[in-house]
A and B are shown apart, each in its own frame.
Chain A
C-alpha cells in the first residue's frame, strides 16, 4: 500500500473463530470480508502505519495448534508468519506462549518498534515491525511476580502504553497484578497502583494485585492516564503515582473498555457493565459513555444501538481511529459490531451474528 490517503477506513474485527475485515469510505456504510484464520481466535490486532504503508499484525490462537503472530502488508490479501514464531520463549525460560493479548505499535518517531503483551504475563518488544520480539526480562523476572495471578480470562499483560513524549517511559497493565511503570526503557518496573481498589483481596488497597482491566494515556498530557478497573474507574495525573476515582456519573464502575481520544486531552470512553456478579450492560441497555473533562462528567450515548443487548464488550473489543472527528468502534460477545463516525455519539451496525468479538482496531487508509 502506498502512503497516499484514500479516504477509506479499515476496521479489523478479531473474534473467537477468526478475523473479519470491514472497509468504508464514509464510516457509515461498511462492507465485510472474511473470515481469515477460520477457527483461530484473534485476541489481538495491531495496525501499524508508521512507514507510509499499512501493516496488519494479528495474534492468532488455535485451540489445537497454539498461538502465533501473522502480519499482512496488503490488507489481508496475504499473511506471513515468521518460521520460528514472532514470539517464543527460550529453552531456559521454562514457559510457553499461551496467547498474544496485545500488539501495540510504538510512537510515530520510533518506526519498527512494536510491543506485545502476552499470557503468561510477559511483555515483548520488536524492533523490526513485529516480525521478531524479545522478552522483557526485567518484568519477566520481577520480584512481584509471585503476587500476580489469573483473572477469568487468564494471566496476561493486556495493556502497553509507550509514551510518545519520552522513549524511556512505558506503562503496562496486567490482570491480575495492576499497573507497572518503567522510566528507563524497560530496564526496571515499579508497581503504580496507589488508589486503585482490589476489593476482592484481604487488603483492599495493596501495592500489587489489582485487576486493572484496561489503561489509556491522554493524547496531550502524557502524565495523565485513565483506568477501567475490576470495579473502579480512575484517572492519574502523575503518571500513575496516584489514582483518583472518576466513576461518579457512570451507571456502574465495572467494565472492560478504556479508550482516550487520539488528539483531545481529557476525553475518554468506557462501556459500563452492571457488576462483577452481573456481567451485562446495565438493565440490558448497551451504551457508550464519554467524558470530555477528565471524568468530572460523563455523557451517555446509545443512538443506533439495540434497545436490549445483554452482551459484554471485552477490553480490546473497542477502538478509536485517528479520523476527524474520531471514529469509535466496538463489538460484543454476541457478535455484533458497531461504528460511530462522530466520537461515539451515533452508531451504525457494521456486522451481526459473528462469533464473540475479542478485539477491534481501526485505521484510516
Chain B
C-alpha cells in the first residue's frame, strides 16, 4: 500500500512567501503519478493566486530570480516547467541572489 505522503508532491516555500500561502511553508499537491512543475504550480494557483504571481509571470515563465529545485537539481537544468515530478518528491523554491 502506498502511503499518503507518496501520493503527493511537497512544495517548500521560502519564508518571504509564507504570507501569501496562509503562513504555510510546505504545500502538498496531489500526484497519483508524475506531474509537471507547471501543473503543480497551476494547482497551487487556485488556492494561492498571489503566490503564483510571485513565482511566475503571466506567460507562465518562472521569474528570473526565483529558483526551483527538484531533489537538489535546478529545474532550469532539467526540463524547466515541463520537468516531471514524481509522487513523494520535493520541489524547493528559493529566491536567488539579486539586487544591490
Contact = CB atoms under 8 A, between A and B. Distances in A.
Interface of A: 39, 62-66, 68, 81, 83-85, 88-91, 93-97
A62 B98 CA distance: 10
Given A63-B65, A84-B49, A95 B58 contact: yes
B24 to A, nearest CB: 17
B76 interface: no
A62 B63 CA distance: 11
A84 B54 CA distance: 11
19 contacts: A39-B99, A64-B54, A64-B65, A64-B66, A64-B96, A64-B98, A65-B17, A65-B66, A66-B53, A68-B53, A81-B50, A83-B50, A84-B49, A89-B59, A90-B58, A93-B58, A96-B59, A96-B61, A97-B57
B60 to A, nearest CB: 9
B49 A95 contact: no
Interface string B64-76: 0110000000000
A96 B65 CA distance: 15
Nearest to B59: A96
B95 interface: yes
Contacts of A84: 49, 53
Nearest to A87: B58
A96 B57 CA distance: 6
Interface in B68-100: 95-96, 98-99
Among A63, A85, A90: residue with most chain B CB under 10 A: A63
Contacts of A89: 58-59
Interface of B: 16-17, 49-50, 53-55, 57-59, 61, 63, 65-66, 95-96, 98-99
A65 B99 contact: no
A39 B95 CA distance: 13
Nearest to A65: B54
A131 to B, nearest CB: 14
Contacts of B95: 64-65
Given A83-B49, A94-B59, A96-B61, A66 B99 contact: no
Given A64-B99, A66-B57, 11 more contacts: A64-B16, A64-B54, A64-B63, A65-B55, A66-B54, A68-B53, A83-B49, A89-B58, A94-B59, A95-B59, A96-B61
A174 B61 CA distance: 26
Among B53, B61, B65, B66: residue with most chain A CB under 10 A: B53
A63 B53 contact: no
- What 5 pairs across the A-B complex have the smallest Cβ distances? A96-B57, A65-B54, A63-B98, A64-B95, A83-B49
B35 to A, nearest CB: 21
Contacts of A93: 58
Contacts of B61: 96
Given A64-B63, A68-B53, A85-B53, A96 B58 contact: yes
Contacts of A65: 16-17, 53-55, 63, 66, 95
A289 B65 CA distance: 41
Contacts of B54: 62, 64-66
Nearest to A89: B58
Contact of A97 (B49, B50, B58, B66): B58
Nearest to B96: A64
Contacts of A95: 58-59
A66 B63 contact: yes
B4 to A, nearest CB: 29
A93 B59 CA distance: 9
Contacts of A68: 53
A8 B50 CA distance: 35
